[in-house]
Structure 1
């Protein structure tokens, strides 16, 4: 290996490199590992390690570490062209994807493929990116050729699904995969499962469900297919999906994962009796499955049958305590199970506003990893009991191990003051923490939101922009700043950019859906505004969203719908400030 290779390894195989590999995962790296031919030391380009190359590598690495992926990816692309080393091109591609720079990613991928023409990963990457740009024919043909030539057809179909999944547009990915799978192989179960998953990613739940059902029909004992029938079916017809899955469970009583998933979905749709009946049936077949005691207690708690839940948790703790006495803690998960049960008992006590019992259960937790969390939670409960001084003393007594724990204590202390209505004290705590921990995004975010509450918008905006710079992959700061600009009806172009970024990062977040809806209302697109706000309200039926949705209905000439939404929200939250101010501003009196 030449000197250039050694230096390349020391820089590009550093932690940043291993982390960024996830930006372009290799779906072929499974049973059929693909060897990157160009990585063999004898086939690396013979390039002298000049001071210029060394400097440019350092610049690119430092830029990437600092989040400047634009500079880093362009520098690596230039290095690839100057040195003819494909690893620089691959690195440029990865960083371009992190930076959402599709055009540079394609240029880097083409360079990578050109420099390493025998590397199937490079070829597949180019095909995927070109397909995303509209050239789907080439990729579909290449994937079909790979499937036809493969000895293991099922593995080849899985690889084709993974490669098509790299495409930016999931709808095009579905078209490519459909064309890639030869007609004579379409009846394979794996083909139906692959098409099911890709159809789901393309937001076509009916098609995803159809393919999942076909897979289950061909393999009635396939738990993977049954899980998809349930999950995808819930987005088509809830009752049918639950009924179909219940029938599968009856025929396959050993499908434990499917049964636990079905129990969870029963609970999601408040079908507690059905969930409990399924747990009872599982316990009859597996009386030694003590984890079901905990599962049953969770369901009972969700059903607000607290006394029964407590009884079940006490029994679970008793069983796990016996396991601890008979089996060494180092080879048993009994202590973790007991801790989970105690945390559930804490939640039940909190639901009942029995803070003394919640604190008692926290004090009984022995799990070392939970001690810090338990003490912090204890302080919160002491504050909710009305003893702020005791809560602050509990936080003062905590020994923090690192900057993260310091931040948690500061955020908790501020939250206690905020809940008590002492916003100025909360701001003082967070301002001090922001000076002591200047690169902590969570501190800046909470402090910024308190500034916004006080109408200190310049300070709020400054901190939100700092949060975005520190954590460009987190959606909350984009959403908060975008919503505030929309609410104030200013800088609406920037608000749109911010909210689009938030949506891209967290598309199902009801807070973000509410913000986007409110932005669309501000720009006069009432139909689209109503659609986003309806989606938000379906996920999170709270008064703040109802205030926005009702106002869109009202301005759009749908007063009865507006009044219905407002009335429902007012019944649940009669003192909500946002809703009451909306009704007053619009001069609406509800019966």
Structure 2
């Protein structure tokens, strides 16, 4: 029994060391490798180890921190002291964190990390007030005694000061602490980071530029500068900077990856894919790169290439395997390969992605006309309220798309008996009531949403548009849409509604302004129908034909678009 306890204790110690960076402790100077203090692994020590870990696993973080502190006092082991510090900081118990960190620095006097952590909490009391002088003194000592690790310690300054609530004070401390080290690029990076925390991109750029003057082409500086520029809204300049650095250092994979990500952010998907393909040449089995090329190909609607790279990413062990299966199912479904699509969806096991896979499977069945099977699938899968709600909404949408709006409304009515104030269910049921020309029910439910959620822009818009489309209470309709536009000024559908109510009131010129803006944001079929009609009314028939032809090419089955084109004699 004693031998079993000893072996178990050693396993616990090993797991503890690995789980909290035991190797890093030795490397950082806590103790020399292989020179950890010899501990007598008594049953009591083991018992307290286990109690502390079990308490943490059960969410009793405060108790876990207290148990680890007692263990640190008894063993004086730097690994345990570090663990106690981390858990206490996580539980926001500054008293335990301070004592544990002090033990850590005492038993590992050469550990810069221990001193840095102690510095970050040195003056914090139970009230949460921070003694900035104490922190500054402690961090100045860390920098002065860096023993060859000055660059790393400079880069860690802002992390050490993360608990200081006054970010302007943090910046001032960073400036004072880095003053003796301004010939070191990392000092300027620390200043740039502090400036970013205080939302001062110009100061941050000046600091990072100084770092790059000291060390031209330095990768961390280049990457930080691009990040600052992007944060400041200068994405094009960030791209130019990264492109220049990639041209200068074409074999630097980190810079090329940053450039590729920036291209994605700029929605230059073709160029981004080219860069990721270039990276794949050197690492053909890199799962992340394969996944990136797959996503970009999917975005570009190049499904064969997307499928190839997703399959390779899956084979390379990408951690988001279920997301890849969803994408592969989506590709198969878009080709009309329902069985293959549902096979991929059925393989999704992660509970976070399972509802999406189930809904997509049901939609796939519905597209094949197997509506009842789709409904059965959705009705049998729900296992928690939020998932149930998603499935109810999906079932109603399937019925609506199958022109079974009455049944869809019954599904939502049943759900609303359980949760009568669910605004999503109310909104979808209101839209179905409008489709069934049950205007009183639609209005009642939309007004209920507005009462429950006064900032629900789409409830105002839906009610205003429905009234305007029927030429009912046009003053009120415009007022409702104006309120929606106040809440969401760039929403293309609300802009479309404003254009349409203006048109119904006889102001075609004002209508045109809103509709052109809406269509510029989103080339939606119904917006195109409204825009075409207004242009035709303004005797701009050629422009109307162009808009309607363009929209019909993209949306040949849209009912409103076809009705409008036929009524105007465009087709």
TM-score range normalised by the length of the shorter chain: 0.5 to 0.7
Contact kept in structure 1, 2:468 and 2:477, CA below 8 Å: yes
**Alignment partners' CA distance in 2, 1:548 and 1:356:** 39
Residue 369 of structure 2 is aligned to residue 366 of structure 1: no
Q: Paired residue for 2:277, among 277, 280, 285?
A: 280
Q: Paired residue for 1:351, among 330, 334, 338?
A: 334
Q: Paired residue for 2:430, among 448, 451, 476?
A: 448
SS of the aligned residue for 1:512 comes to helix
**Alignment partners' CA distance in 2, 1:147 and 1:407:** 48
**Alignment partners' CA distance in 2, 1:154 and 1:276:** 31
Contact kept in structure 1, 2:471 and 2:504, CA below 8 Å: yes
**Alignment partners' CA distance in 2, 1:338 and 1:489:** 52
Q: Look up the match of 1:418.
A: 400
Alpha-carbon displacement from aligned partner over 1:200-243 (angstroms, at most 9, x marks no partner)? xxxxxxxxxxxxxxxxxxx75512145368x6567xxxxx9977
Q: Paired residue for 1:467, among 446, 449, 455?
A: 449
Contact kept in structure 1, 2:294 and 2:310, CA below 8 Å: yes
Q: Look up the match of 2:380.
A: 397
Q: Look up the match of 1:563.
A: 545
Q: Look up the match of 2:570.
A: 590
Q: Look up the match of 1:309.
A: 306
Q: Pick which of 343-352 and 147-156 moved more.
A: 147-156
Q: Look up the match of 2:14.
A: none
1:154-233 equivalences under 5 Å are 188=206, 222-227=225-230, 232=234
Q: Look up the match of 1:572.
A: 554
Q: Look up the match of 1:15.
A: none
**Alignment partners' CA distance in 2, 1:551 and 1:263:** 39
Q: Which has the larger radius of gyration?
A: 2
**Alignment partners' CA distance in 2, 1:255 and 1:299:** 19
Contact kept in structure 2, 1:226 and 1:258, CA below 8 Å: no
SS of the aligned residue for 2:316 comes to helix
Contact kept in structure 2, 1:407 and 1:437, CA below 8 Å: no
Contact kept in structure 2, 1:530 and 1:553, CA below 8 Å: yes
**Alignment partners' CA distance in 2, 1:567 and 1:241:** 39
Cα gap change, 1:150 to 1:220, in 2 (>3 Å)? closer
Residue 267 of structure 2 is aligned to residue 264 of structure 1: no
Cα gap change, 1:534 to 1:290, in 2 (>3 Å)? same
Contact kept in structure 1, 2:465 and 2:481, CA below 8 Å: yes
Deviation at 1:452, TM superposition (A): 0.6
Cα gap change, 1:161 to 1:397, in 2 (>3 Å)? closer
Residue 319 of structure 2 is aligned to residue 319 of structure 1: no
Cα gap change, 1:243 to 1:368, in 2 (>3 Å)? same
* TM-score, length basis structure 1: 0.56
Cα gap change, 1:157 to 1:307, in 2 (>3 Å)? closer
SS of the aligned residue for 1:368 comes to coil
Q: Paired residue for 1:290, among 287, 292, 299?
A: 287
**Alignment partners' CA distance in 1, 2:442 and 2:238:** 46
Contact kept in structure 2, 1:499 and 1:516, CA below 8 Å: yes
Alpha-carbon displacement from aligned partner over 1:125-154 (angstroms, at most 9, x marks no partner)? xxxxxxxxxxxxxxxxxx9xx999996897
Residue 502 of structure 2 is aligned to residue 499 of structure 1: no
Contact kept in structure 2, 1:226 and 1:245, CA below 8 Å: no
Cα gap change, 1:372 to 1:147, in 2 (>3 Å)? closer
Cα gap change, 1:502 to 1:190, in 2 (>3 Å)? farther
Could you list the runs of 5+ residues in structure 2 that have no partner in the other structure? 1-118, 130-164, 177-190, 210-220
Alpha-carbon displacement from aligned partner over 1:512-571 (angstroms, at most 9, x marks no partner)? 222222233344554443333223222321321111112222233433222211221223
Residue 429 of structure 2 is aligned to residue 432 of structure 1: no
SS of the aligned residue for 1:386 comes to coil
Q: Look up the match of 1:387.
A: 370
Deviation at 1:381, TM superposition (A): 1.7
RMSD: 4.2
Contact kept in structure 2, 1:249 and 1:258, CA below 8 Å: no
**Alignment partners' CA distance in 2, 1:297 and 1:505:** 37
**Alignment partners' CA distance in 2, 1:32 and 1:501:** 49
Cα gap change, 1:446 to 1:317, in 2 (>3 Å)? same
Cα gap change, 1:471 to 1:188, in 2 (>3 Å)? same
Residue 484 of structure 2 is aligned to residue 487 of structure 1: no
**Alignment partners' CA distance in 2, 1:444 and 1:558:** 40
Cα gap change, 1:491 to 1:279, in 2 (>3 Å)? same
Q: Paired residue for 2:511, among 512, 519, 529?
A: 529
SS of the aligned residue for 1:348 comes to helix
